[in-house]
A and B are shown apart, each in its own frame.
Chain A
Amino acid sequence: MSGEKPKGAVEVIHPPNKIKARVGPAGKGMDPNLLARAEAAMVKAQEQVDFPSQANPELARAAATVALLLSDRENQAKHLSTLFNIVHDLRGGGGNFGYPLVTRIGGMLCRYLEGRTTVSMAEVEVLRSLVDAMRAVVGNKLKGDGGSVGQELCTGLERLIV
């Protein structure tokens, strides 16, 4: 690293394109055949993952963390951070392993928690509802968009967090 620069000074560096050198000059853009092969392999891999078996213990941990928000109020910031991380990971995985409803509800919870370090009793109940909804989705194996039940559930939850 160089030393302190004058305020506003910007140095531009063009590093050698090592990746391009390695993959060679022959390609251009995405190869549609290769893409089709990758998409097919991905679908097959997704089907082999049992999302509920990994999500259920995490959702149980999320529910226990929500309970701590009331029983251990002085450490709410820590518990909110834990809850955010648990749900964030589930949100990321849900859409990839057949449970986009988990991603949708998890997204609501993450947005609700964004930047918060404390929550009221009423807000804890909102969080509890969102975690319970995700548990219901996974417990009942509501895959895909969950049909009309899934849509109603999400519409109701969206009203709750407004």
Chain B
Amino acid sequence: MMGYRLDRLAVLIVDDNQHMRGLVRTILESLGVSQIIEARDGAHALEKMGQAPIDLIIADWNMEPTDGLALTRHLRTSPDSPDQFVPVIMLSGHTERARVTLARDAGVTEFMAKPVSARSLYARIVSIIENPRPFVRTNGYFGPDRRRQMLPFEGQDRRKPSGAHAASPRG
């Protein structure tokens, strides 16, 4: 069966726990990813992103000094961001709804609760490939569209496309 050429991806793993980095690396290598870069925290990740283009980031939430949330916010909103649109999968032991909402509001693309499994990580990578989410910019937010499902809703749709990459909001 011909599948996606995951061997062409450059993936950055950001975690302060080397065992967890090793585990994620093992999964990625088994899926065929050959270019895997590791970083200890958010600041280290930005340093690594300055050295080589990255297609996907898998970041832990809790890290010191720069955690995964701060890294995501920097990527989405800082003028110094190396890539505002890079997909971010956030790994976390946090499963509380408020925490998941916080991650979503920082601009993560996918949230993944620990313990990590090969299936859940693979599923999220495939989801990012097959169902890319549009980005939205408001006064208080820039990041992937937080409305996961394109459900009809009551009232006026105030979202309007713009820019060179814009397409129909319903597209």
Residues of chain A touching chain B, judged by Cβ–Cβ distance below 8 Å, are: 1-2, 4-5, 7-20, 22-24, 26-31, 33-35, 37-42, 44-46, 49, 51, 54, 85, 88-89, 91-97, 100, 103, 106-107, 110-111, 114
Contacts and interface: CB of A to CB of B under 8 A. Distances in A.
A13 to B, nearest CB: 4
Contact of A5 (B26, B116, B135, B139): B139
Interface centre among B96, B115, B117, B162 (most CB of A within 10 A): B115
B62 A15 contact: no
Nearest to A17: B132
A96 B116 contact: yes
A12 B1 contact: no
Nearest to A54: B19
Contact of A13 (B31, B114, B116, B137): B137
Interface of A is mostly: helix
Contacts of A23: 4-6, 8-9, 129
Given A15-B165, A38-B118, A39-B119, A26 B20 contact: no
Nearest to A33: B1
Contacts of B56: 19
Interface stretch (B43-51, B85-93, B100-108): B85-93
A11 B162 contact: yes
A75 B20 CA distance: 31
B141 to A, nearest CB: 9
Contact of B55 (A19, A31, A42, A94): A19
Given A5-B138, A31-B3, A91-B93, A46 B23 contact: yes
Given A2-B137, A28-B130, 13 more contacts: A13-B136, A13-B165, A19-B128, A20-B129, A20-B130, A22-B5, A27-B126, A30-B122, A44-B26, A51-B19, A85-B64, A94-B115, A96-B20
Interface residues of B, number: 66
Given A89-B93, A92-B114, A10 B27 contact: no
Interface in B121-171: 122-123, 126, 128-130, 132, 134-139, 142, 145, 158-163, 165-167, 169, 171
Contacts of B31: 34, 38
Contacts of B91: 92
Interface centre among A40, A44, A54, A92 (most CB of B within 10 A): A92
